[in-house]
Amino acid sequence: VEAVSILEAPAMVVVGVVGYVETPRGLRTLSTVWAAHLSDECRRRFYKNWYKSKKKAFTKYAKKYTESKKEIDVELARIKKYCQVVRVIAHTQVSKLNLRQKKAHIMEIQVNGGTPAEKVAFAYDLFEKHIPVEAVFSENEMIDVIGVTKGKGFEGVTTRWGTRRLPRKTHKGLRKVACIGAWHPARVSFTVARA
C-alpha cells in the first residue's frame, strides 16, 4: 500500500495571450490580448474588495470585440510579428472546489512549438475554452510539483532553523544560538542561523 496525495484539479480556463520580446536584459512584455468574456471569479482577482466595487473591470475592453474588432487584430498581429515567446493567461475555477475562496488564481502558461504566428493562432483558438488536466498530464506520469510552504510568521532560531536548545540554566533564555562565530573574520557569516 502506497500513500498518495489526491489533488482536486478542475479544468483551467484560458482568458488571454501575452507576447514577449527577447531583449539583452531578458524578456519584455510587448502586448496582451484578453478574451471577450471573463468570469466573475477571474475578475475578482483584479479587485481588493469585490462587493464594494462597481465591478467594471473589462467591461470597456469587451466592447472592443463588438464595436471594433480591428484593435484586437492589430494587437494579435503585433505579437505575431515581433514576439519570440508566447504565453496564454489561464485561471483556475475555484467555484468548483469546496473552498471558502471565490477569487480565481491566474497564471501564464508558455506555448511552445511552431512559429510565433502559429503559437498566437493556437492560443487564440483556446480563448474561453476549458483545459482539463488530461490535456497536460497522462495517467501514471511522474511530475514535478512546486508548492508554497505555509507561513509560520516571525519565529525564533529554534523553530526556524532547528538549532539545539541550550541547557536549562542558561542566562537570558535558552532558545538561542550561543556562539554566532569566531572573533575573526570579524563578521557574522551568512551560514549562522539567525532569526
Q: Tell me how long the chain is.
A: 195
**pTM of the predicted structure, to 2 decimals:** 0.75
- Mean pLDDT in the chain? 94
pLDDT in tens, 147-163: 888 899 999 999 999 99
Residue 10 class from Cβ within 10 Å (0-12 exposed, 13-18 middle, 19+ buried)?
Answer: middle
Q: What share of the chain is helix, strand, coil (3-state, %, to 5)?
A: 25, 20, 55
Q: Is the pLDDT of residue 22 over 90?
A: yes
- Per-residue model confidence as pLDDT tens digits over 48-97: 999 999 999 999 999 999 988 899 999 999 999 999 999 999 999 999 99
Share of the chain above pLDDT 70, in %: 100
Least confident of 104-108, 133-137, 162-166: 133-137
DSSP H/E element including 78: helix 70-82
Q: Which residue has the higher pLDDT, 2 or 109?
A: 109
Between residues 143 and 80, the one the model is more confident about: 80
Q: In the prediction, which pLDDT does 149 show?
A: 87
